[in-house]
Amino acid sequence: MKYTIKELSLIANISTRTLRYYDQIDLLKPNHINKSNYRIYTSLEVDILQQILFYKELGMSLKSISSIINSNNFDKLASLNNHYKKLESKQKKIGLLLKNINKTISNIKGENNMSDKEKFEGFKNQIIKENTDKYGDELNDKYGIEYIKEANQKYKNLSKYQMNEQNELSNKINKLLVKAVKSNDIHSDTSFELCKSHQLWIKNYWPTYTKESHMTLVEMYLTDARFKKYYENIIPGGTLFLRNSMQVYLKEKNRTIMFYFFLLQQYLFHFYKQYI
Share above pLDDT 90 across residues of the chain, in percent, rounded to a whole number: 25
Asked if the structure places residue 276 within a domain, the reply is no
Q: Residue 273: pLDDT above 80?
A: no
Q: Residue 119: pLDDT above 50?
A: no
Q: Which of 12, 34, 69 represents a domain boundary (last residue)?
A: 69
Q: CA-to-CA distance for 175 and 179, rounded, in angstroms?
A: 6
Summarised one tens digit per residue, pLDDT across range 233-245 is 999 999 999 999 9
Residue 143: predicted pLDDT? 62
Which of 262, 241, 243 minimizes the C-alpha distance to 251?
243
165, 140: one domain? no
β-sheet bridge partners, residue 41: 3
Burial 48-59 (b: 16+ CB within 10 A, else e): bbebbebbeeee
Asked if the structure places residue 123 within a domain, the reply is yes
Domain tally, the chain: 3
How confident is residue 11, by pLDDT bands cut at 50, 70 and 90?
Answer: confident
How confident is residue 181, by pLDDT bands cut at 50, 70 and 90?
Answer: very high
Q: Which of 140, 156, 172 represents a domain boundary (last residue)?
A: 156
Sheet holding 2-4, edge to edge: 2-4, 39-42, 32-33
Which of 129, 104, 98 minimizes the C-alpha distance to 118?
104
Least confident of 45-54, 86-95, 122-131: 122-131
Q: Residue 45 is inside which H or E element, if any?
A: helix 43-57
Q: Which domain holds residue 203?
A: 158-271
Q: Residue 179: pLDDT above 90?
A: yes
Residue 237: predicted pLDDT? 94
Q: Which residue has the higher pLDDT, 155 or 249?
A: 249
Query: Domain with 64 in it: what CATH number?
Result: 1.10.1660.10
Residue 51: predicted pLDDT? 86
Summarised one tens digit per residue, pLDDT across range 58-74 is 777 888 888 888 777 77
Q: Which of 69, 92, 108 represents a domain boundary (last residue)?
A: 69
What is residue 269's DSSP assignment?
H
Distances (CA, A) of 275 to 156, 262, 269: 55, 20, 10
Contact indicator for 262, 251 with CB cutoff of 8 Å: no
Q: Which residue has the higher pLDDT, 108 or 133?
A: 133
Q: Which of 35-44, 96-105, 118-127, 252-261 has the highest mean pLDDT?
A: 35-44
